[in-house]
């Protein structure tokens, strides 16, 4: 039989120490979560500023390729390493003036530096060669234009919607400089049922 010692009336002290320790542990875990979320937010912010952007399609100028309210993933650094290429869908700063000026536009690069662009008889020509445009669903309904000669660092952009008056593009505001192009639209990521590359 083990001896029984009378209680001294003092507590062992383990209770408060254990409670204090669990509070410190909880605060440490909370700080780790906050720090991780903060770091992730900063990284995403920096990526959004320098690497990619998410844009919303507004208007009908890129139909049938893009529809209004679709969301785009935009690569912002690709043109730091190479020049825009004909056929690519790009996001650019709206170079126009007036009440219909927007912050950004989504257009397709038709031609680049040194090229000659014109439209005649409802067909688009680059360097006197008729352009094959599988991304459009109609021949050009607007008036003929050109020839337009692109100087160094200039690009001619158009919307895929070739119905009359449906796209504000280089026919309206002229050639654009490379530094006005903010990135290349890589793919549609929303709505989920319409995810696709461009």
CATH number for the domain spanning 78: value is 2.10.109.10
Q: For CA atoms 117, 174, 106, 142, give the dihedral sign.
A: negative
The pLDDT of residue 49: 60
143 in the same domain as 92: yes
DSSP three-state, residue 117: strand
8 A C-beta contact, residue 131 and residue 154:
no
For the segment 9-51, what is each residue's pLDDT rounded down to a tens digit?
Answer: 444 444 444 567 777 788 888 888 787 877 776 766 666 665 6
Q: How far is CA 74 from the centre of its chain?
A: 3
45 in the same domain as 60: no
91 in the same domain as 163: yes
Q: Is 24 a catalytic residue?
A: no
77 in the same domain as 23: no
92 in the same domain as 22: no
For the segment 130-142, what is each residue's pLDDT rounded down to a tens digit?
Answer: 999 999 999 999 9
Report the C-alpha gap between 66 and 63 in whole angstroms: 5
Q: Is 61 a catalytic residue?
A: yes
For the segment 63-104, what is each residue's pLDDT rounded down to a tens digit?
Answer: 999 999 999 999 999 999 999 999 999 999 999 988 888 999
88 in the same domain as 44: no
Report the C-alpha gap between 144 and 24 in whole angstroms: 75
111 in the same domain as 167: yes
Q: Of the candidates 6, 30, 50, which is a domain's last residue?
A: 50
The pLDDT of residue 45: 65
The pLDDT of residue 43: 66
pTM of the entire predicted model:
0.78
Asked, as a colleague might, if the bond just before 64 is cis with ω within 30 of 0, I would say yes
Catalytic residue among 61, 167, 168, 170: 61
DSSP codes of every residue in 127-190? TTEEPP-TT-SS---SPPEEEEE--TTEEEEE-S--STT---SHHHH--EEGGGEEEEEEEEEE
Q: Of the candidates 7, 32, 50, which is a domain's last residue?
A: 50
38 in the same domain as 118: no
| Residue ranges making up the domain that contains 160 | 54-193
Q: Report the number of distinct structural domains present in the chain.
A: 2
Catalytic residue among 107, 167, 168, 170: 107
């Amino acid at each position: 039989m083990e001896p029984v010692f009378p209680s001294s009336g003092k507590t062992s002290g383990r209770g408060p120490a254990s409670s204090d320790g669990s509070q410190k542990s909880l605060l440490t875990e909370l700080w780790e979560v906050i720090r991780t979320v903060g770091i992730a937010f900063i990284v995403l912010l920096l990526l959004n500023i320098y690497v990619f952007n998410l844009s919303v399609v507004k208007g009908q100028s890129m139909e049938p390729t893009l529809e209004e309210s679709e969301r785009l993933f935009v690569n912002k650094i690709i043109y730091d390493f190479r020049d825009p290429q004909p056929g690519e869908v790009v996001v650019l700063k709206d170079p126009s003036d007036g009440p219909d000026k927007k912050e950004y536009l989504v257009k397709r690069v038709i031609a680049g530096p040194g090229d000659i662009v014109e439209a005649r008889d409802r067909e688009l020509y680059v360097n006197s060669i008729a352009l094959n445009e599988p991304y459009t669903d109609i021949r050009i309904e607007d008036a003929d234009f050109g020839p337009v000669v692109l100087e160094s660092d200039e690009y001619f952009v158009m919307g895929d919607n070739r119905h009359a008056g449906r796209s504000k593009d280089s026919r309206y505001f002229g050639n654009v400089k490379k530094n006005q192009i903010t990135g290349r639209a890589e793919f549609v990521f929303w709505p989920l049922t319409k995810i696709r590359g461009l």
